[in-house]
C-alpha cells in the first residue's frame, strides 16, 4: 500500500469516527505558520474547550452585576455551584451522585482523604503505593507517616519484577496478603503516570478489604481516561484532578469519591470546614459542625467559581458521550500508535521499547516510549516539527492520543515526522 492509499484510509477512519465532532469543541494549539499541532499531552494538560471562555465570562458578568448577591442571584447561584457537577462526575466515576464532589486540588484532597482513612493503630501502620508513583503522592504519603509519628519503613512500595516494566496484579495481591493486618491503607495510582499501566482496581480493592484495610485510589490519570465503577468496586475513597483528561484548565479543581457506607459514620476522623456543614443550617452560623450526609461533608471552603466555570464547560462535553464510547475510540487510537511505533522500530532498527503494557486492557490512552539512544534528539525534533509530546528524564517520551480531540490523522502526521527524523539522522 502506497502513502497516498494510507493517507486515504486514515482520512476515512476519521470521517467514520462517531466522536469526530468533539474535536471542533476544543482549541488546538498552532505553530508559527498557523498550522494545528499534533497535541499528544492530554495526560499532562488537556486542551481548552471553546465554551470555557463563555462560561467564565458569564460568571464575571454576574459578579459585576450582583456582587455578593451572586451567591443566590447569579444565573447559576454560587452557593450551590459545586452541586452542578455531581451528576456528570457520578457518570464518569461510576458512582452515586452523593458519593462525589468537586473541590480543592488533588494533593490537598489526598491529604484530606488520609485524615479519614489512614488511621494507624497497633501493628496496622502500613501504607501501600507503587514505587514509581508520581512524586507528589510519595511526598503526601511520607508526610502523613511523619504526622502520625511513623517512619518511612511503614511505606511499602511495589516494584515490577526484574526486567519488567509493569506490576503484575498477582504480585500486588501477594503483597497485600503478606502485609495482612499490618496494612492500614492502600493509595495506588489507578493509572501509573510513567508507564500508563491501568491497575485492576476491583481485584486489588477486594484483596485490600479482605485483610481489613481501606482501599484508596489516586485517579489523576484515570479520570476521564477509562470507564470506572468506583461504587460497584467497593472503593473506600478516591481523588482526581480535572486538568488532564478532563480538560478543565491548568490547576483545575479536583474532586473526591467517598463510598456511601462512610457517610453516616459520626466518629470518622475528618478535617472540618463550613462548606461541609449541613447546608440547611450553614448560614445560621452554628458553632458546632453538623456534617452533610454525603461526600460534601469533606468540603472545607466555598467553591472556587471561576476555576469551576471551565470545569463545567468540559463536563458538558462528557455529558454528550459516555466513557464507554470514548474507550472504544481510545483503544483504536492507541492500537494504531502502537502499530506505528513497532513498524518504525523494525524499519530503522531502533533500540526503543514501549514501557506501557502490551495488553490494551491494562492501559489507557498513553504509550510511554523508552529510548536509551537518541531519545532527546527525537523528542526535540518532533517538538520542533509540530508535535506536542512529553519528555520524562532520562529517556522516556510519553504520547497520549486523547479520543475526545485527537484523530488518526494526528498519529499519521506523527509517523511521517518520525520517519523524517530517522531518514536524516
Please report whether residue 338 resides in a domain.
yes
Total domains present in the chain: 2
CA distances to 57, 77, 308, 311, 327 from 66, in Å: 14, 11, 19, 22, 42
**254 shares a domain with 391:** no
pLDDT of residue 4: 61
**364 shares a domain with 290:** no
CA distances to 91, 161, 219, 263 from 367, in Å: 26, 20, 18, 38
What does the chain come to in residues?
A: 425
Q: For residue 329, what is the domain's CATH number?
A: 3.90.1150.10
Determine which helix (DSSP H) or strand (DSSP E) holds 147, and give its type and residue range. Answer: helix 135-147
**257 shares a domain with 138:** yes
Across 304-340, b (16+ Cβ under 10 Å) vs e yields: bbebbbbbbbbbebbeebebeebbebbbbbbebbbeb
CB atoms closer than 10 angstroms to residue 395:
16
Last residue of a domain, one of 318, 347, 375: 318
Distance CA 40, CA 402 (A): 7
**198 shares a domain with 67:** yes
Please report whether residue 49 resides in a domain.
no
Q: Which three cell numbers stand for residue 134?
A: 508520581
Angle between helices 323-347 and 408-424 (to 10 degrees): 20
Q: Which three cell numbers stand for residue 50?
A: 471553546
Cα-to-chain-centroid distance, residue 211: 27
Q: Which three cell numbers stand for residue 327?
A: 474507550
**337 shares a domain with 293:** no
**166 shares a domain with 19:** no
**243 shares a domain with 391:** no
Beta-carbon contacts of 141 under 8 Å, excluding residues fewer than 6 positions away, are: 114, 127, 129, 155, 187
- Helix/strand/coil for 79: helix
What CA dihedral angle connects 310, 315, 316 and 320, to 10 degrees? 150
Distance CA 140, CA 207 (A): 24
Is residue 95 within 8 A of residue 234, CB to CB? The reply is: no
Distance CA 101, CA 292 (A): 12
Distance CA 112, CA 144 (A): 10
CB atoms closer than 10 angstroms to residue 16:
9
Q: Which three cell numbers stand for residue 12?
A: 476515512
Last residue of a domain, one of 299, 318, 337: 318
- Helix/strand/coil for 165: coil
Distance CA 256, CA 144 (A): 18
CA distances to 133, 209, 301 from 177, in Å: 21, 11, 39
**390 shares a domain with 271:** no
Q: For residue 273, what is the domain's CATH number?
A: 3.40.640.10
Is residue 251 within 8 A of residue 306, CB to CB? The reply is: no
Please report whether residue 349 resides in a domain.
yes
- pLDDT by residue for the chain (425 residues), tens digit each? 556 666 888 899 999 999 999 999 999 999 999 999 999 999 999 999 999 999 999 999 999 999 999 999 999 999 999 999 999 999 999 999 999 999 999 999 999 999 999 999 999 999 999 999 999 999 999 999 999 999 999 999 999 999 999 999 999 999 999 999 999 999 999 999 999 999 999 999 999 999 999 999 999 999 999 999 999 999 999 999 999 999 999 999 999 999 999 998 988 999 999 999 999 999 999 999 999 999 999 999 999 999 999 999 999 999 999 999 999 999 999 999 999 999 999 999 988 999 999 999 999 999 999 999 889 999 999 999 999 999 999 999 999 999 999 999 999 999 999 999 999 99
Compute the C-alpha angle 67/70/53, nearest 5°.
95
Last residue of a domain, one of 318, 346, 377: 318
**59 shares a domain with 25:** no
Please report whether residue 50 resides in a domain.
no
Please report whether residue 381 resides in a domain.
yes
What tens digit of pLDDT does each residue of 271-329 get?
A: 999 999 999 999 999 999 999 999 999 999 999 999 999 999 999 999 999 999 999 99
Distance CA 397, CA 378 (A): 9
Terminal CA-CA length for the chain: 26
- Residue 126: which domain range? 55-318
Beta-carbon contacts of 147 under 8 Å, excluding residues fewer than 6 positions away, are: none
**200 shares a domain with 215:** yes
Amino acid at each position: 500500500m502506497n502513502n497516498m492509499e494510507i493517507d486515504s484510509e486514515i482520512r476515512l477512519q476519521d470521517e467514520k469516527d462517531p466522536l469526530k465532532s468533539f474535536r471542533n469543541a476544543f482549541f488546538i494549539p498552532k505553530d508559527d505558520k498557523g498550522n494545528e499541532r499534533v497535541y499528544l499531552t492530554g495526560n499532562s494538560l488537556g486542551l481548552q474547550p471553546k465554551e470555557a471562555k463563555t462560561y467564565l465570562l458569564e460568571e464575571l458578568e454576574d459578579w459585576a452585576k450582583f456582587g455578593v448577591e451572586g451567591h443566590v442571584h447569579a444565573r447559576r447561584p454560587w452557593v450551590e455551584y459545586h452541586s452542578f457537577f455531581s451528576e456528570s462526575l457520578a457518570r464518569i466515576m461510576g458512582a452515586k451522585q452523593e458519593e462525589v464532589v468537586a473541590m480543592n486540588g488533588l494533593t490537598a484532597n489526598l491529604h484530606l482523604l488520609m485524615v479519614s482513612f489512614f488511621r494507624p493503630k497497633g501493628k496496622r501502620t502500613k501504607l501501600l503505593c507503587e514505587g514509581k508513583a508520581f512524586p507528589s503522592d510519595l511526598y503526601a504519603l511520607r508526610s502523613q507517616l511523619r504526622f502520625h509519628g511513623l517512619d518511612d519503613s511503614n511505606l511499602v512500595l511495589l516494584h515490577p519484577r526484574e526486567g519488567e516494566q509493569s506490576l503484575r496484579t498477582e504480585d500486588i495481591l501477594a503483597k497485600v496478603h503478606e502485609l495482612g493486618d499490618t496494612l492500614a491503607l492502600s493509595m495506588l495510582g489507578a493509572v501509573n503516570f510513567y508507564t500508563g499501566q491501568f491497575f485492576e482496581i476491583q481485584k486489588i480493592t477486594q484483596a485490600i478489604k479482605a485483610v481489613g484495610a481501606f482501599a484508596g485510589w489516586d485517579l489523576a490519570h484515570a479520570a476521564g481516561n477509562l470507564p470506572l465503577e468506583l461504587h460497584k468496586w467497593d472503593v473506600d475513597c478516591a481523588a482526581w484532578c480535572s486538568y488532564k483528561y478532563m480538560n478543565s484548565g491548568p490547576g483545575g479543581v479536583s474532586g473526591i469519591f467517598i463510598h456511601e457506607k462512610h457517610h453516616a459514620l459520626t466518629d470518622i476522623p475528618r478535617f472540618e470546614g463550613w462548606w461541609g456543614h449541613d447546608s440547611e443550617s450553614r448560614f445560621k452560623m452554628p458553632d458546632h459542625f453538623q456534617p452533610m450526609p454525603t461526600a460534601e461533608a469533606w468540603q472545607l471552603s466555598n467553591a472556587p467559581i471561576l476555576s469551576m466555570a471551565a470545569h463545567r464547560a468540559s463536563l458538558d462535553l462528557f455529558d454528550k458521550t459516555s466513557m464507554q464510547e470514548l474507550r472504544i475510540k481510545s483503544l483504536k487510537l492507541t492500537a494504531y500508535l502502537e502499530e506505528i511505533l513497532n513498524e518504525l522500530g523494525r524499519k530503522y532498527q531502533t533500540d526503543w521499547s514501549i514501557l506501557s503494557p502490551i495488553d490494551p486492557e491494562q492501559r489507557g490512552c498513553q504509550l510511554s516510549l523508552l529510548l536509551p539512544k537518541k531519545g532527546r534528539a527525537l523528542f526535540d525534533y518532533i517538538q520542533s516539527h509540530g508535535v506536542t509530546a512529553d519528555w520524562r528524564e532520562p529517556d522516556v517520551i510519553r504520547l497520549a492520543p486523547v479520543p475526545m480531540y485527537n484523530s488518526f490523522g494526528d498519529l499519521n502526521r506523527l509517523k511521517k515526522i518520525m520517519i523524517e527524523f530517522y531518514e536524516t539522522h
